[in-house]
Amino acid sequence: MGNSVGVNPEQVHATADWLDKSAQDFRDELNSLMKEVRTFVGGEWQGAASGSHSDAWDEWDEGARQIIAGLEHDAAALHQAASLMHSTDQGSAGSIGSTVPGSA
C-alpha cells in the first residue's frame, strides 16, 4: 500500500484555536506596549530624537501587526482544512459503507 497520513481534525481545530488565542494575546500585549510608547515618545519626550524613535516604533508596530494577521490567517486556514478533512472522511466512510454488503 502507499503512504498514508492520519490527521485528527479535532486536534487541528485545537491548534487553530491556540493560534487564535495567541494572536489575541499578542495583540493585547502589543496594544498595551504601544500605549506606553506613545505616552513617552512624542508625549513626555519631545524633539528630533523622539521623532526618529517614533518612526522606528511605527515600523515595529506595523511588523508586529503583520505577524498577528499571519497567525490569524493560519488559524483560519487550519480550521478550514480540518473541516474539509472531516467532511471528506465522512463522505468516504459513507461511500465505503454503501458498497459493503449488509452495511446498509
* CATH code for the domain of 65: 1.10.287.1060
In a domain, 28, yes or no: yes
pLDDT tens per residue across span 1-51 = 567 777 899 999 999 999 999 999 999 999 999 999 999 887 888 888 887
What range does the domain containing 17 cover?
A: 9-85
Is it the case that residue 96 has pLDDT exceeding 80? no
Number of domains in the chain: 1
In a domain, 103, yes or no: no
Considering the entire predicted model, what is its pTM?
Answer: 0.74
In a domain, 36, yes or no: yes
Residue-level pLDDT at 72: 98
Instruction: Give the CA dihedral 82, 83, 84, 86, nearest 10 degrees.
Output: 80
In a domain, 81, yes or no: yes
Which of the four pLDDT bands, split at 50, 70 and 90, describes residue 97?
A: low
In a domain, 1, yes or no: no
